Amino acid sequence: MLGIVHYGPNEVHRGLRELDIPISFVNVPVLGHGDGICELWWSQQKVRTASHGPISWRANESLLFLTVEIGNAEQCLQDATRDAYCALLAEINALGYPHLLRVWNHIGDINDDSTGLERYRQFNMGRQEAFMASNWSVINVAPPAASALGAQRNTPLALFALASHHAPLAIENPRQISAYDYPQNYGPCPPTFSRASLIDLDGPTLFISGTASIVGHQSMHPDNCREQIRETLRNIEALLGEVRCSHGVDWELANLQFKAYLRNGADLWMFREEMDQIVGKEVNCLIIQADICRRDLLVEIEAVAL
Ligand code: 3EB
């Protein structure tokens, strides 16, 4: 096993910590699994494992899974995010997996703006600072695929990631402006992520970033969850079309393994209805209740294609 992600009420399965496998506890309700659920990342090859400061990792020859623990509860989110990403970028370089493939971020109280700047926007500033400090530039290094969701107030930042030995290809979505080019009305710093990463791991593998009801840079269908689900799936279709045309790999919605985040648990039935309709009855989807990074968004969907 490469790593574990536990979604659910924090640390009900505390014993998992003793396994010496990197594990991220994400304090969010799993719809339909009250006690929580573990996502397991498996390797076909031998793995080695270690930890260093706030980072725990396991790796095989091509892939590294890591978790970052945020230590200092006193620190502001921007600084904590910067420090976490600086540690992450330094560690993957030192270990020989310099390409950040996919990052998952869960930020406690993500939409809270009581300090003047919404916490998601503070997070974006810290994340960008860390990428800049490592001499990173969109021109020569693609940002990772990512997702950024809420979590319970007492989780400052839960972060886990995959890094690779070989460089992935970054994919952008023809229906959406690249997130790193968003205008400043979404915050002083744009988010640092690509719409998807494509890599060969015993065959082509696609990591699709959290995708929402955004066309261009604008949120579509505020307050209408059903239309947001449909728009989001159109965005994922467009991304698959891009992968098909530009890279010759042919995936359909029905081949994907999905993870979805709903702002309101009450929309679960509607989400299932739309997924059944559009993707098919056999759809593979873990559904989590979490806040989305823009207040007007009610749903975000990510996926992996193997
Ligand atoms: C969006 O398209 C919706 O900040 O890392 C999706 C995936 C979103 C990743 C991130 C944010 C992030 O802008 C939100």
Task: Give the CATH number of the domain where residue 227 resides.
Answer: 3.30.1330.40
Q: Which of 106, 209, 218, 236 to mutate to test the pocket of ligand 1 (most atoms within 8 A of CB)?
A: 209
Would residue 257 be called left, alpha or beta, if left means φ above 0 and alpha means ψ between -120 and 50 degrees? beta
State if residue 100 touches ligand 1 by the CB under 6 angstroms criterion: no
- Work out the burial of residue 10: count CB atoms within 10 Å of its CB; fewer than 13 is exposed, 13-18 middle, 19 or more buried: middle
Structural domain that includes position 46: 3-305
Query: Dihedral of the CA atoms 104, 303, 219, 82 (nearest 10)?
Result: 10
Query: Closest Cα partner for 149 from 235, 78, 211, 77?
Result: 211
The b/e string for 272-301 (b: 16+ C-beta within 10 A; e otherwise) is: bebbeebbeeebeebbbbbbbbbebbbbbb
Contact 143, 101 (CB under 8 A): no
Q: What is the pLDDT along the chain (306 residues), one digit of tens a residue?
A: 999 999 998 777 778 888 899 999 999 999 988 889 999 999 999 999 999 999 999 999 999 999 998 867 788 999 999 999 999 999 999 999 999 999 999 999 999 999 999 999 999 999 999 999 887 655 567 899 999 999 988 888 999 999 999 999 999 999 999 999 999 999 999 999 999 999 999 999 999 999 999 999 999 999 999 999 999 999 999 999 999 999 999 999 999 999 999 999 999 999 999 999 999 999 999 999 999 999 999 999 999 999
State if residue 23 touches ligand 1 by the CB under 6 angstroms criterion: no
SS3 state at 167 = coil
State if residue 193 touches ligand 1 by the CB under 6 angstroms criterion: yes
State if residue 146 touches ligand 1 by the CB under 6 angstroms criterion: yes
Give the Å distance between the CA of 149 and the centre of ligand 1: 8
Q: Which of 78, 300, 302 to mutate to test the pocket of ligand 1 (most atoms within 8 A of CB)?
A: 300
Give the Å distance between the CA of 285 and the centre of ligand 1: 19
Atom of ligand 1 nearest to the CA of 120: 4
Count how many domains the chain has: 1
Atom of ligand 1 nearest to the CA of 103: 5
Atom of ligand 1 nearest to the CA of 297: 3
State if residue 179 touches ligand 1 by the CB under 6 angstroms criterion: yes
3-state secondary structure 19-79: HCCCEEEECCCECCCCCCEEEEECCCCCCEEEEECCEEEEECCCEEEEEECCCCCCCCHHH
| ipTM value | 0.98
State if residue 189 touches ligand 1 by the CB under 6 angstroms criterion: no
